[in-house]
Structures are given as structure tokens and as C-alpha cells.
Chains A and B, each alone.
Chain A
Amino acid sequence: MIIEYITKKMIPFIQIYALYVITHGDLGPGGGFQGGVIFGTSIILYIVVFGMERGKRLFPLKIIDFFGSLGVLIYSTVGILCLLWGGHYLEYTKLPFRNPHLAAHLGILLVEVGVAITVFAVMVVFIFDMARKKDA
């Protein structure tokens, strides 16, 4: 009861912190990987406290699987976009924005978001599929 209450209050703060770490990767320590792990940890906390069934209702396996591949897709798509605008693969400064610095900024942000989505989804998949089921 107490644990459930505290968890409910804590999860939003953990998630906002995770989003902060992802989006401020170019200013402070951290980045996509760390932010994604922290975001995944908040979901894992929810699963540990409220049980696997409610966790699966919140994040159905199909959606989690989709997110896992979506992150890698975003990352590689940014690379290919750089190719389309005449740069090397993952050469962000060639992206069509006002100046190269803004392009690099947004490219890196997109890439970090991709990393974060994949890491977060894979962490949740680990928990869903590795923990023992009741009948097994």
C-alpha cells in the first residue's frame, strides 16, 4: 500500500528526469543511452510493484517490440537522410537547416532519441520475457 503510493508519486519524476537527460545530452552528462535506461527503470519499477499483468496492459508486447526496432530505424534513417543531402553517412552538418550547427544539433538529438527508444524498449522486453511465468 505504502510502496504503491510512493511508486505512483515517484514515476513521473523519474520519467521527466529521463527526458531531461535525453534532450540535454549535448549540454551536460548523459544522453540517449543513459536517459533510455532511466526511462526503462521507471517502467521496471512499475512492473515490480504492480505486477506483470498491469504492466502488460500498460505496455502491450506488440507496442514494445515495435519501439525496439523503431529506435534503430530512426538512427539509420538520419544517416540515410544525410546521404540524400550530399554528405557522408551520419554527417549531420549537411542536413538542410539554417546553419550547420543547428543541423548537427537536431541530428544528434534525433539520434539520441532513437538510441533512447531502443534501449528503453529492450529493457522492458528483458523484464517481460525473462522473469518466470506463473504456469511455467
Chain B
Amino acid sequence: MIDIFLLMFLVIFSIYSIHTEDLLSSVIVLSAFSFVMTIVWTRLNAVDVAFTEAAVGAGVSTIIFLSALSRTKRGEEKRVTKKINIYNLFAALIVIFTGSVLVYGTIDMPAFGDIEAPAYNVLAPRFIIGSMAELGIKNFVTSILASYRGYDTLGETTVIFTAGVSVVALLRRKGGT
């Protein structure tokens, strides 16, 4: 019951933040969206993800959006008149085609929460049983992230570093920082 309420909130928040013309209130509503999302993750027992969602989604990304807004205008530009030309039709066709190929690709995947899915039968027991003997780390989410998937985490850290470097390269001016 509470899940349905939360999902309704999510839908309402996202539709509002897309359709409002005031970008500031859109950012604030997105922050509220992240907060509700935190509760949803907690109810799904994914505390790690809830943690990240609360810190990044509701906190830092709101601040980043706001500081980006401080460089632009608060309102949305009026949209230009919509007319259908051949390029738009072509683009729509490509989008529909790609989307249907992707949907076709998911048909073979196991159903959500399927107990027969390979991920639950091969990898999960391997990590849950094996990681304690191999690494001795009590929280095996951490041992997966930092050790078994160590390359991925190194890549993520590099991505964050690269984002910082790009912001510096694009926006920092000599003297007037």
C-alpha cells in the first residue's frame, strides 16, 4: 500500500518537474523526487543505494543544478512552433526502431525476481559464500565493489575525476576565480 503511494508521488513529481516552466521549482521537485526514491530503496533493503541517493540525488546534484542555474536564466525559453518536417519524422522512426530492437532484446531475459535466474544461482552464492573465506570482509557488498569489481570502481573514480577536470577546463578563468 505504502509502495503504491510512493510510486504515485514519484510519477507526480517527475511529470511536474518536466512540465513546469520555472526551472528553480523543477530542481527543488527533483530533490524531493530523490528523497522519495531514498525511501523506496530503503524499503527494497538496498541501504547502500539509499545512502547514495540521499547524499548525491537529494543533496549534491541539487546544489550542482542550482549553481548551473545561477549562470543561466530561471525560466524556460518559449518553445518554437512545432512543425513536422522530414528530419523530425526520420528521427522519430530511428527512435522507434531502436526502442523496439531493445525491447525485443529483453524478451529472453529472466523475469524480475525469478528464482531460476542465472545471476542468483551462479554468481550470488559464489560471492555470498566465497567472499568471507577469500577476503574476510564482513560486508560482501564492499568486497564486491572494491575487490571483485575493483576495476569498475577505479573506472568510476576516474570518471568523477575527469568530470572535475572538465569543469575546471571549461569554467575556470585565470585571476577571476
Contact = CB atoms under 8 A, between A and B. Distances in A.
A133 B176 contact: yes
Contacts of B164: 68, 118, 121-122, 125-126
B177 A108 contact: no
Q: In terms of DSSP, what is the predominant structure of the interface of chain B?
A: helix
Contact of B55 (A27, A28, A41, A48): A41
Contacts of A79: 150, 154
Interface in A107-136: 107-108, 111-112, 114-115, 118-119, 121-123, 125-133, 135-136
B55 to A, nearest CB: 4
B121 interface: no
Interface residues of A, number: 58
A46 interface: no
Contacts of A29: 47-48, 51, 139, 141
Q: In terms of DSSP, what is the predominant structure of the interface of chain A?
A: helix
A130 B145 CA distance: 30
B63 A44 contact: yes
Contacts of A104: 134-137, 143, 147
A91 B70 CA distance: 45
Interface in B153-177: 153-154, 156-158, 160-161, 163-165, 167-168, 171-172, 176-177
A37 B59 CA distance: 9
A44 B71 CA distance: 18
A89 B152 CA distance: 13
Contact of A115 (B56, B60, B71, B153): B153
Interface of B: 47-48, 51-52, 55-56, 59-60, 63-64, 67-68, 70-71, 134-139, 141-143, 145-147, 150-151, 153-154, 156-158, 160-161, 163-165, 167-168, 171-172, 176-177
Interface of A: 21, 25-34, 37-38, 40-41, 44, 48, 56, 61, 65, 68-69, 71-72, 75-76, 79, 89-90, 92-93, 100-102, 104-105, 107-108, 111-112, 114-115, 118-119, 121-123, 125-133, 135-136
